[in-house]
Amino acid sequence: MNIKIDLKNNKKLYIQIFDEIKKIIENGELKSNSKLPPIRTLASQLNVNPATVVKAYELLEEKNYIYKITGSGCYVNSEFENIDKNSENDIINMNFNKNIKKFYDLANSYPDKSFFKLHILQDSINDSFDKYGIDMFFYSEIDGDKYLKELIKEKFYSKHLTDNIENIKILSSSTHALDIICKRLLKPGDKIVVEGYTNPNAISIFKKYNIQIISIPLENDGINIKKLKSLLKQNIIKFIYTIPNFNNPTGIITSNAKKQELIKLAKKYNFYIIEDDVLSDISFNKKLDTLKSFDFDNSVVFYLFSFSKIFLPGIRLSYLTIPNSIEDLNIETSPSIFIQKFFYEFLKKIDFERYKLSIKNFYEKKYNFFKEKLYEIEQVEISNNFEGGFYFWIKLPDWMDSSKLYEICLRHNLAIIPGNIFHHKHIFSNYIRVSYSSIEKEKILDAINILKNCIENYSVLKK
């Protein structure tokens, strides 16, 4: 296996190794079930630390290119053709050189660093050390710290309606939760329904477990119920995966009427719903109800809430509430007790309603400024205007390929996300997703101008 890496390249070494092996597999040079070189052998060959090869192999496994057999090694996956070659994380983390001073990131939908008050975070960390000491560096209960679960039950009750903390699981991320659900409750060939455009990282996980994905188009008030009913009459499905409040990427909010209808259909046709919630608290004009809040008997909805948008994404903390009928998910890992205790102390000391209000006030100003500047680009149309969330779903001219625009923008140090990666079949898309949340406000005007110029350049090339 001939792998070349460049020590002078700004791209991380493990990413270079990943890219090289990925290319070899896709070119057919390594056949299905072929064994990869042992970690130490490849590390010696490339003159890199074995840990670098470990990270590359872990990424290959995560993207479903390879599989591991404990005690034997790593092998090429026979299903590698199902991989999403452009997942959202790939685009955000692997293709941009963010060390460039004039880099404009409209791809990331992380929170704005300037919102957070460092002294409050420091106080929470200090309180954690004072109260828990060395215990902060030992293992936590496997499905989460019971005190944090009690606090989540209390502070977020209107979201999840869960009285029993045994139904609350503390996890590292939404992808962690989806991975567990697929591993424990689904088998290859099972059917899952997703919205027409949805979270590409979820799509990657479903494909990893060879789950059959069926997409139903979105309307302005959520999933097309008529088409869903028609599908349910002819197919046995196990789950619906939905982002009902500020769908990623469209920003669409599912109406309460449709949320209630989904609950009824789940009970009638005997399937579960996974509700992925991350942005419902960032609604500027009205309080949004979760779909879970209509599951009064806690029978059909797995409710997944991530703190990555309203808090710090790097702490990697989320929680999952499970229906009463689910006895055990056999969770194997949970976030570090250090992170859980730190977050517990932070959450305990703040007035969460006031905290949410400060978040909304902060982002609403930035949202309106960003939207005002977007309207100055004549060739595009803002497809969503739901007054909240972290991103805009933008329609380009009908002939314009968002993937090609993405490449043009990249050459001008602007990061956007092409619309095709949000569909499980990667169909042609003349839409892009841009986020206003993490970019510094003083960079917004320049970023919009670059986007405008790139669209104009693409139009000239077309002619």
> Looking at residue 446, what is its pLDDT?
96
Is 79 in a helix, a strand, or coil? coil
Confidence of residue 397 (pLDDT cuts 50, 70, 90): very high
- Most confident range (mean pLDDT) of 87-96, 291-300, 312-321 is 291-300
Tokens representing 244? 């009902």
Q: Percentage helix, strand, coil, to 5, in the chain? A: 45, 15, 40
- Residue ranges and CATH numbers for the domains of the chain are 13-82 (1.10.10.10), 88-109+354-462 (3.90.1150.10), 118-350 (3.40.640.10)
User: What are residue 218's DSSP bridge partners?
Assistant: 223
Residue type, position 118, single letter: L
DSSP string, 336-381: -HHHHHHHHHHHHHS-HHHHHHHHHHHHHHHHHHHHHHHTT-TT-E
In the predicted model, what is the mean pLDDT of the chain? 88
Hey, which residues does 209 pair with through a beta bridge?
none
Q: What is the pLDDT of residue 165?
A: 92
Q: What pLDDT is attached to residue 152?
A: 93
Rg (CA), the chain: 23
What pLDDT, on a 0 to 100 scale, did the predictor assign at position 386? 80
- Residue 283 structure tokens: 């609604």
Structure tokens, 6: 């460049």
- Among residues of the chain, what percentage have pLDDT more than 70? 94
Q: How large is the average pLDDT for residues 277-293? A: 94
Place of tokens 């703040």: 350
Whether residue 33 has pLDDT greater than 80: no
128, pLDDT greater than 60: yes
The per-residue pLDDT for range 35-86, each reduced to its tens digit, is 899 999 999 999 999 999 999 998 888 777 887 766 778 888 755 444 444 5
Q: Which tens digits make up the pLDDT trace of 223-271?
A: 999 999 999 999 999 999 999 999 999 999 999 999 999 999 999 999 9
With tokens 């169909």, the residue in question is 427
| Chain centroid to CA 342 | 23
The mean per-residue pLDDT over the stretch 25-43 comes to: 85
Tokens of 206: 């479903």
Average pLDDT over residues 446-460: 93
pLDDT reported for residue 100? 56
Torsion over CA: 317, 211, 260, 150 (sign)? negative
Asked whether residue 88 carries a pLDDT value surpassing 90, the answer given is: no
In this structure, of 21-30, 97-106, 242-251, 424-433, the range with the lowest mean pLDDT score is 97-106
Q: Which of the four pLDDT bands, split at 50, 70 and 90, describes residue 136?
A: confident
Task: Single out the residue of 293, 294, 209, 289 nearest to residue 254, CA to CA.
Answer: 289
